[in-house]
Amino acid sequence: MKHLIAPSILSADFTRLGEEIRTVESAGADWIHIDVMDGRFVPNISYGPIIVEAARKCTSLPLDVHLMIVEPDAIIPSFVKAGADLVSVHAETCPHLHRSIQLIRSLGAKPGVALNPGTPPEMLDYVMDDIDFILVMTVNPGFGGQKFIPQCLDKIARIRERIVRSGRPIHLQVDGGINPETLKQVAMAGADVMVAGSAIFQTDDYGKTIKEFHRILQR
Ligand code: DX5
Ligand code: ZN
């Protein structure tokens, strides 16, 4: 399986955001992961469409926008207009999950569904035909630099089985506490898109770090 690396700019140096994005792009990143937090669904506030718009000007890589916000439908068009290529909504925030997915698709972006650590994979059962990726949170969302929750490995494996049964090319993304130690475990469980914030941006040489990630994934 081909693995993709998606650096999360939440841990980037925001005084030099453009440079940080260009550096991870030339270091071999596959997607740029952008974490949107509203201080309601999660206990932290990050940034909105203007950062997506700024990132769009710095890279040709797909922009992967992770919406950790309540009532996302109203603001989804602004994120797509700003340049989001992939948009994930949390199942926990969408009473009309199917409608939110259709909305993302109708705007020309790829829809994904994110699940908190305590949310079961059954939430995905009736949307598997409509999504392009699934994001399994491997920490409780809200902050970078937290410790990986090992119980998530079983959920990753169960979701991989569902993807295989669906016969559709759905990416399985993991997010939170991904580092050289946990990388192999999530890959073995069936994840193929690895989001990493602190494990990339808190190192000195992003190229070396991303190469190390690929080396671990190939073993
Ligand atoms: C957490 C965010 C993550 C975060 C990951 O709520 O969704 O994308 O940036 O950070 P690390 O890789 O440091 O755990
Ligand atoms: Zn994220």
Catalytic residue among 35, 38, 64, 192: 35
Q: What is the tens place of the pLDDT at every residue in 28-81?
A: 999 999 999 999 999 999 999 999 999 999 999 999 999 999 999 999 999 999
Domain of 128 in residue numbering reads as: 4-218
Q: What is the tens place of the pLDDT at every residue in 131-177?
A: 999 999 999 999 999 999 999 999 999 999 999 999 999 999 999 99
185-188 long-range contacts, Cβ below 8 Å, gap at least 24? Answer: 185/150, 185/153, 186/138, 186/153, 186/156, 187/3, 187/217
Which of 143, 182, 186, 209 most suits a substitution to test ligand 1, by most atoms within 8 Å of the C-beta? Answer: 143
pTM reported for the whole predicted model: 0.98
Contact predicate 37/69, CB 8 Å: yes
Q: How far is the CA of 8 from the centre of ligand 1 (A)?
A: 7
Q: What is the total count of domains within the chain?
A: 1
ipTM: 0.99
The secondary structure element, H or E, covering residue 194 is: strand 193-196
Q: What is the CATH number of the domain that holds 19?
A: 3.20.20.70
